[in-house]
Amino acid sequence: MKNIFILGSTGSIGVNTLNVISQFPDKFRVVGLTANKNVDLLKKQIEKFSPTVVVVADENSVLELLKSSSQKCEILSGNHNLVNAAKSADYDILVSALVGFAGLAPTIEGIKRKKRIALANKETLVVAGELINQLINKYSAEIIPVDSEHSAIFQCLTGESVEYIDKIILTASGGPFRKFNLEDLKSVTVKEALKHPNWEMGNKITIDSATMMNKGLEVIEAHWLFKLPKEKLEVVIHPQSVIHSMVQFIDGSIKAQLSLPDMRLPIQYALSYPERFKSSFVNTELPKVENLSFHKPDFNKFECLKLAYDAMKHGGTAPCILNAANEIAVSRFLNSEIGFLDIPNVIKHSLEKIENNSQPDLDAIYNCDRKARDAAKSYMN
């Protein structure tokens, strides 16, 4: 029986994780849940899974939970208690599913406690990849990726030697605007951008998929996760989202991991690894798939992907600036403050305004994140 602590239990990854756990009551036990302010869903999760500790980041929302909850669990509030709970709760696996930079600090605490990190918060490695790898080595923790692309790569590399890798190929659906041209993108609405063709995800990651920034962040994450240079990291558009990613080896052969889109599969693998548990989540019948197609991404149309590659090349705090500015830009787009094509402009503005620190420590990364957000907020204001 493994004890599971979920950071971000009311988001799409958190909800799917609880779905997986409910299928294996003899394998997993929920000991901790955290949410931002979705108290209604959190109440239902508390009633079903009976965690010992719950943290609500939004301090106003926690009052509603305290008034209505009849559960005998510790209920805390504030981002500082996310970190405190990650420090002290009794868990074996930390599911890091918070959206954005907020996931960094509690994930670090899990690493320091030598726990398994089921990592869905790609920003942790994007903004602090070198430091995270140093901490993993120091504390002998382990990261098992939850993103479908990185899980696919992880599975394809099992039993293989790094020296035989020619390149990693991350697949991308292309999002809702795969067939749009630049002129079409000028008039994209929030409603249109939130219609992903293949996946059910939260608003932020859905917009990131539409701009292909999500794939850019995944490239940076893969760089640190698999310790490969940017020259060995390739992105291809694969609209069907059946092949979740591939590894090409020096002999020319390619390994791919396939399944119909269902995030419960990589989540289950991250929890059960190195075992595989029988489940009924998805049944991939290849004759029904029929066609698998691949295309090169258009870096002019999807400028965010190019910006991510550039940030990875520059290193230092450049990925941190990229990530922070993107978070603000996406928020501003969702609030109809800026247009869709303004998102990469906000990011470029921040990258130009803030000096890159080539060898940042954790304090420098936090400081850089704050400055980048301020710069992104100032664009067009």
Q: What is the pTM of this model?
A: 0.92
In the chain, CATH 1.10.1740.10 sits at 315-381
The confidence score (pLDDT) of residue 199 equals 67
In our burial notation (b when 16+ CB lie closer than 10 A, e otherwise), range 207-245 reads: bbbbbbbbbbbbbbbbbbbbebeeebbbbbbbbbbbbbb
Q: What are phi and psi of 370, to 5 degrees?
A: -65, -45
Residue 203 in tokens? 């608003």
Coil, strand, or helix at residue 171?
strand
Q: How far apart are the first and last CA of the chain?
A: 53
The confidence score (pLDDT) of residue 315 equals: 95
Pairing state of beta strands 142-145 and 165-172? unpaired
Give the CATH class of 315-381.
Answer: mainly alpha
Sequence ranges of the chain with CATH classification 3.40.50.720: 2-145
pLDDT of residue 19: 97
pLDDT for the residue numbered 202: 80
Residues 6+ apart with CB under 8 A from 31: 3, 4, 5, 51, 52, 53, 89, 90, 91
What are the residues whose beta carbons fall under 8 Å from the beta carbon of 10, sequence distance 6 or more? 35, 36, 38, 41, 42, 45
pLDDT digits (tens, 9 = 90+) for 46-56: 999 999 999 99
Residue 138 CB partners (closer than 8 Å, separation 6+): none
pLDDT in tens, 122-164: 999 999 999 999 999 999 999 999 999 999 999 999 999 999 9
**CATH T-level assignment (fold) for domain 2-145:** Rossmann fold (3.40.50)
- Residues (pLDDT < 50) of the chain are none
* Percentage of residues of the chain with pLDDT beyond 70: 99
Q: How far apart are CA 214 and CA 329, in angstroms?
A: 13
Predicted local distance difference test score (pLDDT) of residue 72: 78
